[in-house]
Structure 1
Amino acid sequence: MGKRNSQRKSAAMLDSDDDNSSVSSTSTMRSDSGTEEVQIEKDTLLGEALDDLYEKRGSTREKALASIIESFSNNLQHQFVEKKFATLLHQCLGSMKKGSSREIALASQAIGLLALTVGFGDNAREILEESVTPISQALKARPESLKTAALLECLAIITFVGGNDPEETERSMDIMWQLVHPKLGSNVVVVKPSETVITAMVSAWSFLLATLDRWRLDPKHWQQSISYFSSLLDKNERSVRIAAGEALALIFEIGNLEKFSAEADGTNDGSREGYTHVQGLEGKILNQVRNLSMEAGGKGSAKKDLNNQRNLFKDILEFLEVGYCPETSVKIGGESLKTTTWSELIQLNFLKHFLGGGFVKHMQENEFLHGVFGFTPKRKNLLSAEHHISSTEKRMYRSPNSVVNKARTQLLNKQRMLSEDRNVGHYAINMGDEEM
């Protein structure tokens, strides 16, 4: 017990004014409304779960992480993060380094939720910088599918929130890519990735690609990626085909098909051979997409999954043939969240999958996600969000020179640019000749 108390004391020093915050919270509970009492009760439960991350028994830590995930999914835990950010991050990283596969998966999800909660800023940068190496190491060890998928999702989220430049994003994309295309060496043991891992990798990779400014993108890192994604369209697993289809649609939307499909021997450099190579890939992919949009149900095929695949590939086919992106609309608390590009749709679907049942709550109250999608919830939801964020954060969000507002402006400008390009038919597959 002495050692554990010492660990807690040491970790608590990472956070500022923990003791004073606890005292003021107690007095607030006695003097304020029932709403404050509920918040203090939630903070207490989170505090107990955080304490349990110091326990030696792995099952206790797993239960604590599951409780933390539930709390962070269902509510914006700004007050708790203000006091315990560093401790929570380092305890989750500890679980990632020493825990079972289940504990690593839970810790990965908790770190991703922590990043989405803190949003833009120094804390998000710290999460990315502190987590990249442990995630990379965990991906190389014990290749269990569910653990690996959770690590990939975590890496995508923390890069999305905490990355400041394209090089950081491409670094994370490269870590993901190595799972399916490892750099061979004398000490490298090649393990064939499962379909679950392939799906997770392609989805996470596409999510990060969707966040990059296409003018600064360096596709030479991903030469032959389009050939790989085309090969995935022939796989038996439907989730793999869907993920690959979305990745291909995004690459066509970006408009760098010839760069993404460059041949390994370097012949695709504007020469006739390279041009022929790209045209052949375009034709092959178009036929694959057309076939998948009309696929008949096979033995044991779930009707819902089959319909999802058909609908997706019908959208991709229309996009490739005439340049129209699917437009979607999701109701969030009475307001519509709309997407008009593949980039927006891929980001939305990835975040919906990661947040699960907490997606609506986060879209209603998470300022970071409001900026990403240019979404403004109804006034009552804004007031609810104001109630949960700190006075420091309020000043940061309201300042026209804040990091949040600058980043939000950059994101919205990029989205407007993509939308404008779509309207003039830039993405249509039959315009590819002009790019050569």
Structure 2
Amino acid sequence: MGKGSRRKAGVDQFDSSDADSVSSVSTGTSELTLANETEFVNSEDFLLEKYVDALYEKRGSVREKALSGLVEAFEGHFLLPFIDNKCITLLHQYINSIKKGSTKEACLASRAIGLLAITVGTGSNAHEIMAESILPLSQALISGSDSTKKISVVDCLAIVTFIGADDLVETETSLKTMWQVIYPKSGPNVGPVKKPNSALLAAAISAWSFLLTTISSWRINPDTWKESISFLSTLLEDPDRSVRIAAGEAIALFFEFGIFDKYSFEKEGSNPNASENEISKNGAFHYMQGLKGKILARANDLSTEAGGKGTDKKNLNDQRDLFQKIVDLIETGECPEISLKISSKHVLTTSTWTQMIQLNFLKHFLGKGFLKHAQDNELLHDIFDYAQDRMGNLSSKQKYTRSDDKGWTQKMNKDRRMAQARKQGHLISEDA
């Protein structure tokens, strides 16, 4: 007879209608409660609020988990409504994690600040994010010796300044901080300076180049940047391929800005009564032209570098492709064009080195979240050419006709020949 029999006997004492009524009410209440709880627990905002609350916990492991959840959420979604009234509150907690947290926590917090800025977009909030974070980020970048943390911080500094800076002075402040990492001798160091490792050096150059794209060419004084270009040209000889690639991209920007030809109006012997200033400009012009020749020769070498045993083929091909583009830029002024399909109806395009560097950096920073932000974030639409994909509306016959255009065919043939030449380790004449 056990408990099961007693329960059965008790139920049998109820009138059948009462049992049905009790069962109905109980079941209905249970289902309603469960549905409400499930909806609440699964609410994205509820989960995000839990992460925000966890940022105030004393245990670093709890804050790390919260930051990881927030980073993943801001990568995969465009969460502008969520941060409407808590943007600066979040920022302060992120900064606290950079100051006091472990390397992992600081890296996550740096990434979270960058994602916060990208989500906010331009405006007063973006400027406040930059103004509040630039000092702690700069301190974290210049002090300490943790390269992993510094890589995350320099990426974040580039993003917040790119989006939030209101004027040239603010941008130049961050550029100067980054340059101290790239070229430590330029900083206020009194003791021996230590060259950053290759990973940090490449990351700092890429972040610096990304931010440099915001300075219009007419503002760039050749005298101001001559030393930077000269140092970057020496990095084309660096044993690490990632450093050579980063330095090449930075140098390409200066060619697009026209820095190497800024002094071209000053010709030697044009004025026998030239002042010291004019003579100085003539000397600078000849120096820059000589440097231009050296860079072109080195770019040619790197565009055809042969791969030895154990060579990372992808990095080698990336290097060859980049420096062939740089050769084309120097010799013909041709800039690389990129067309990136981001949805069934829209395509994102770039047609300058400036835009290409911006695109590559944002893709690198956003990672798997780039496509979502490219689709939904107006900030990216403002930065790049964002338009309907006209090719997507063409019939198969029209697409074939378009691709069969003579100019298109010639370009494709040239690209194939150049690619084949790079694989073989030599260049084929463009007239072939």
Tell me the TM-score normalized by structure 1: 0.73
**Equivalent residue for 1:329, pick from 339, 343, 347:** 339
* Match for residue 314 of structure 1 among 312, 319, 324: 324
Residue 340 in 1 paired to residue 351 in 2? yes
Corresponding residue to 1:253 among 250, 253, 256: 256
2:310 corresponds in structure 1 to: 300
Equivalent of 1:226, from 225, 229, 249? 229
Partner of 1:52: 54
Percent of aligned pairs with the same residue? 50
Aligned residues: 341
Per-residue Cα deviation, 1:168-222 (whole angstroms, up to 9, x for no partner): 1111101100113334557555222111111011101111111222222345443
Distance 2:49 2:278 in 1: 57
Q: Report the counterpart of residue 178 of structure 1 in structure 2.
A: 180
Structure-2 residue corresponding to 1:214: 217
CA distance in 1, matches of 2:281, 2:314: 45
Aligned counterpart in structure 1 of residue 205 of structure 2, from 202, 205, 213:
202
Q: Are the structure 2 counterparts of residues 313 and 186 from structure 1 closer, same or farther at C-alpha, using a change threshold of 3 Å?
A: closer
1:147 is displaced (CA, Å) by 1.0
On the 8 A contact 2:154/2:207 being kept in 1, the answer is yes
**Structure 2 residue 97 is the aligned partner of structure 1 residue 95:** yes
- 2:284 aligned partner: 274
- Distance across 1 between alignment mates of 2:319 and 2:278: 32
The separation in 2 between residues aligned to 1:143 and 1:377, in whole angstroms, is 47
What is the CA-CA distance between 1:152 and the residue it aligns to?
0.7
* Deviation string, structure 1 residues 234-284 (Cα, Å, up to 9, x no partner): 111111111111111111000113679xxxxx9997444323211210111
Partner of 2:408: none
CA distance in 2, matches of 1:171, 1:76: 30
Larger Rg: 2
Q: Structure 1 unaligned runs (5+)? A: 1-29, 261-265, 379-436
The 1:226–1:193 alpha-carbon spacing in structure 2 relative to 1, beyond 3 Å, is same
Say if 2:260 and 2:289, in contact at 8 Å, map to a contact too.
no
| Residue 376 of structure 1: how far off its partner (Å) | 4.2
1:373 equivalent to 2:375? Answer no
Q: What is aligned with 1:83? A: 85
- RMSD of aligned alpha carbons: 2.5
1:288 to 291, 295, 298: 298
8 A contact 2:161–2:174 mirrored in 1: yes
Within 2, Cα distance between the matches of 1:269 and 1:208? 33
Asked if 1:349 is matched to 2:360, the reply is yes
1:115 alignment partner in structure 2: 117
For 1:115-150, what per-residue CA distance to the aligned partner results, in whole angstroms no more than 9, with x for missing partners? 000011111011000001001111122222221111
Higher relative contact order (CA 8 A, sep 6+): 1
CA distance in 1, matches of 2:381, 2:226: 34
Change (3 A) 1:118 1:218: farther
Structure 1 residue 81, shift from structure 2 partner = 0.3
119-128 or 49-58, which deviates more: 49-58
Ranges of 4+ aligned residues in structure 1 off by more than 6 Å: 266-269
Aligned to 1:147: 149
With normalisation by structure 2, the TM-score equals 0.74
Structure 1 residues 94-133: Cα deviation after superposition (integer angstroms, max 9, x where no partner): 0011111221111110000000000111110110000010
1:381-396 mapped onto 2 (5 Å cutoff): none
Q: 1:74 is matched with which residue?
A: 76
